[in-house]
Amino acid sequence: MLSKRGIMKSLCGIAAVGLFGMATLASAQAQNAPGILQSILQRGTIRIAVLGSLPPYSRVMPNGEPEGYDIDIAKRLAEALKVKPEFIISDIPARVTALQTRKADVTIADFTRNVERSTSIAFTNPYLVTTMRLLLPANSPYKTIAEANEAGIRVAISRGGTAERAVPANMPKAQIIRFNTQADELNAVLTGQADAMAEDNFYNGNAIKENPGKLREAEGDLARAEIAIGLPAGDADWLRVLNLFVDQFNASGDNKKLFQKWFGFEQPPIQAKY
């Protein structure tokens, strides 16, 4: 028989985790900081969360400095505010939690905005619009997304990304295989562990170029995604400044130039047609 003490010990452990959660909550709520804009101007630096490895959006160079399209946008933002950029290299969870714990003032990290996500952080207007498409091995027999769906293929996707809804909606017969990084998805396709992957067409274009003769895209689109700058929820003043920055960055043609520099082709239109 199990002893009462053993069971009590288990219950105490479970209670401790609950308390830890509450403590995190309490410390987050105890913060009563001034507005983010004031903090940045007083500090003279803006803290920007970026991804460590998502070229050409961002990557960390051997000397430890980040570079890429998102990094150049961050530098423009710092320049416009007349402060110094301070980069916080993050992964997929950290680019979000850095905002929620106020360790970062903004996140510029290929963020796809939607209403569900905007209940926990805020997003600016988009600076990029991507189209999700199906990336296949070059020798795959399927020409279109519809054909691939009929065959019930295995599609590699990013956990919790745009593909979570887009793939079942467009390919109800496909079997979904989830990975943490795009590199793992691509490995799965190249080694035959998946029949295809669903990623944005900019990523796909790069992958096709880097694996000559091995990959191609299927005809048809899976989803449209709006890429935006993320910021902590609840600071309307900071959102006002960032939206003005994004709007002028788009309208001035600076965005087009940076995009051309990092992706090597012309930026598709940001405005939706409806």
Partner 1 sequence: MPYYFSFRSIYPYLGDLAAAAQATLLLSVLAIVLSVAIGSGVALMRRSDSRLLRFTGGLYVEVMRNTPLLVILYIVYFALPQLGLRMSPFNSALIGLTLNSAGYMAEIIRAGLVAVPPGQFEAAASQGFTRVQLYRHIVLPQVFRTIYAPLGNQFIAVILASSLASAVAVEEVASWMQTVGSSSFRFFETFVIAAVVYLVLCQIVNLGRIAIGRWLFRQPEAYR
Query: Under the rule (CB under 8 A), what is the footprint of partner 1?
Result: 1-2, 6-7, 10, 13-14, 17-18, 20-21, 24-25, 28-31, 33, 92-93, 96-97, 100-102, 116-117, 119-121, 156, 158-161, 164, 177-180, 184, 187-188, 191-193, 232-235
8-state DSSP, 51: E
Shortest reach from residue 271's CB to partner 1, in Å: 25
66-67: strand order across its sheet: 53-54, 58-60, 66-67
Q: How far is Cα 54 from Cα 185, in angstroms, rounded to an integer? A: 13
User: How far is CA 135 from each of CA 51, 57, 172, 201, 268, rounded to the nearest angstrom?
Assistant: 23, 19, 17, 9, 19
Structure tokens at 180: 């943490």
CB closer to partner 1 out of 188 and 258? 188
Shortest reach from residue 132's CB to partner 1, in Å: 15
Shortest reach from residue 230's CB to partner 1, in Å: 9
Shortest reach from residue 259's CB to partner 1, in Å: 25
CB closer to partner 1 out of 44 and 234? 234
Name the phi and psi angles at 143, rounded to 5: -90, -40
3-state secondary structure of 255: helix
Structure tokens at 132: 């999700």
CB closer to partner 1 out of 18 and 253? 18
CB closer to partner 1 out of 174 and 258? 174
CB closer to partner 1 out of 113 and 259? 113
Shortest reach from residue 59's CB to partner 1, in Å: 20
3-state helix, strand, coil split of the chain in percent (to 5) is 45, 25, 30
